[in-house]
Chain A
């Protein structure tokens, strides 16, 4: 259950600094036991810098499992989600250069774990 809602009202998310601030808030909330749901309905564009600093860094620091267990997205546009997915993929790939599609392997594993927990 994602019990801590964050509604983003900006139409364009650009700066790393703003992303780092939000990332810090998310980390604090998760540390205090919450699960965060981010409403991206108002967002029309997200820069690679912003997506990387927020989602990419969380995935790198805590892993894809942790990220998807503690952070959910809602109402995002397809383009926005694609940028977020690209940022996470880039970060996970940069962790193990040369490994074939480490991001996809991590995603498959996270999905498997989620499914086994739900049984």
Chain B
């Protein structure tokens, strides 16, 4: 399965504009990490499906995951997407709150449906929370350039693998940190900062010159130059740190790319950094879990006085 790692670790000629070797793909299998990055860059360059020159089975699959809609074209897929929300969530461009919330619900519906036994309860609850945080952050940071997707496929043994992914072509971590005045000098340091608990650029600044839209705006007529921001700056910056912890807790895989650095977490919890031959302008992330590995985790509730008192106080 080709994922985000394979997308950004290829020997192809890449340029800064138009169609280049980045968009060349072979007749093979590709995961959400691959597709979200692929489409985010295509959309950023105003390429359409014909420009991408995808053919054969891959083209049929690309249409099934709604690549045309993601590229701003008419969706010509002739069938109902009956398994959307069960086995997969198609490509969704996260350019409005409504679409972002819809994508969160669809991905979480997949997770709850696929991991519906009691043994998965802790995994399901933890990951669904994180999907919400992650997509909301992409919507907030990604300047309406973000895409999401999720997919299940059969595992090598019994069971199955499930991957969800997001990719945007926004500032990326390094530029975002430098924008708010931090002295971070390279992409790897920027990733390291962003996965620390409590760290968020949103805690530090809301861009004074950011073009603002009213809260109830539908869609985003100003494209990448405008976005809706909250009236106040309340971000706590917990999403990525919690995600990394959850990936390690549930023995998953994680690939997180920004600029020319990629963080890779393996199922045994080893973290490593890779220098990317194809830098990623923005942030791209994919997380993969094996149904055989996500069970048997910590108990759901271990007793907490604060929670108990709060439950009494907030009871209707």
A interface residues with partner B (beta carbon < 8 Å): 2, 10-18, 20-21, 37, 44-50, 52-53, 56-57, 64, 67-68, 71-74, 78-79, 81-85, 87-91, 94, 101, 103-104, 107-108, 110-111, 114
B132 touching A47, Cβ below 8 Å? yes
| 28 A-B residue pairings within 8 Å (CB atoms) | A10-B105, A12-B101, A12-B105, A14-B100, A14-B104, A14-B132, A16-B136, A16-B235, A17-B230, A20-B215, A45-B131, A48-B132, A49-B239, A52-B236, A67-B314, A68-B314, A73-B315, A78-B301, A81-B307, A85-B307, A85-B310, A88-B310, A89-B306, A90-B238, A101-B306, A103-B306, A107-B306, A114-B313
A104 touching B306, Cβ below 8 Å? yes
Say yes or no for B190: interface residue by CB 8 A criterion: no
Q: Interface size bucket, B side?
A: 35 or more
B interface residues with partner A (beta carbon < 8 Å): 97, 100-101, 104-105, 108-109, 112, 125, 128-133, 135-137, 139-140, 215, 228, 230-231, 234-236, 238-239, 242, 300-301, 304-307, 309-316
A90 touching B215, Cβ below 8 Å? no
A49 touching B310, Cβ below 8 Å? no
Nearest CB on B from A29, distance (A): 15
List of B residues within 8 angstroms of A45 by Cβ: 108, 125, 128-129, 131-132
B230 touching A104, Cβ below 8 Å? no
B307 touching A68, Cβ below 8 Å? no
A85 touching B105, Cβ below 8 Å? no
Nearest CB on B from A14, distance (A): 3
Q: Which of A44, A52, A72 contacts B315 (CB 8 A)?
A: A72
Nearest CB on B from A31, distance (A): 17
Closest 10 CB pairs of A and B: A47-B132, A14-B132, A45-B128, A68-B313, A79-B125, A72-B316, A107-B309, A74-B316, A14-B104, A47-B133
B215 touching A17, Cβ below 8 Å? yes
Assembled-state Cα–Cα distance A72/B139 (Å)? 30
A83 touching B129, Cβ below 8 Å? yes
Nearest CB on A from B156, distance (A): 29
Nearest CB on A from B137, distance (A): 7
Additional A-B contacts beyond A18-B101, A49-B235, A85-B306 (13; CB < 8 A) = A12-B128, A14-B132, A16-B234, A45-B131, A47-B136, A53-B230, A56-B236, A68-B313, A68-B314, A73-B316, A82-B301, A82-B307, A111-B312
Assembled-state Cα–Cα distance A83/B304 (Å)? 13
Give the nearest-CB partner of B238 in chain A: A48
A15 touching B139, Cβ below 8 Å? yes
Give the nearest-CB partner of A107 in chain B: B309
A48 touching B230, Cβ below 8 Å? no
- Tell me if B's interface is mostly helix, strand, loop or mixed: helix
A78 touching B300, Cβ below 8 Å? yes
Nearest CB on A from B95, distance (A): 13
List of B residues within 8 angstroms of A94 by Cβ: 236
List of B residues within 8 angstroms of A108 by Cβ: 309
List of A residues within 8 angstroms of B230 by Cβ: 16-17, 20, 53
List of B residues within 8 angstroms of A53 by Cβ: 230, 234
Nearest CB on A from B211, distance (A): 16
Contact (A44, B236) CB under 8 Å given A68-B310, A88-B310: no
Q: Which of B139, B305, B311 contacts A81 (CB 8 A)?
A: B311
Give the nearest-CB partner of B106 in chain A: A12
